[in-house]
Amino acid sequence: MSTQIQTPVQAISKSFDLHIDTQKQMTALLGLINKQDEHIKLITVKLLKIEKTLARFQMTEGADEHRNNS
């Protein structure tokens, strides 16, 4: 059960406590966002490598078919 605030000092103390709790939550949230950003960048790099490999394969496949038809 919460107690009622009786004095200005209690109000300031409660406000400060809420600020600390909010700051901790914000820090945790920013940590999560940074981790997700790292993962997105890693996935992007891997996807670019796959696209590059696919493009090379497609170019090689077209050259092989051209040689077979000649």
Quick: pLDDT tens for 7-41: 999 999 999 999 999 999 999 999 999 999 999 99
This prediction has a pTM of 0.62
The residue assigned the tokens 């009786």 is 6
DSSP letter for each residue of 19-47? HHHHHHHHHHHHHHHHHHHHHHHHHHHHH
Mean pLDDT of the chain: 90
The residue assigned the tokens 């000649």 is 70
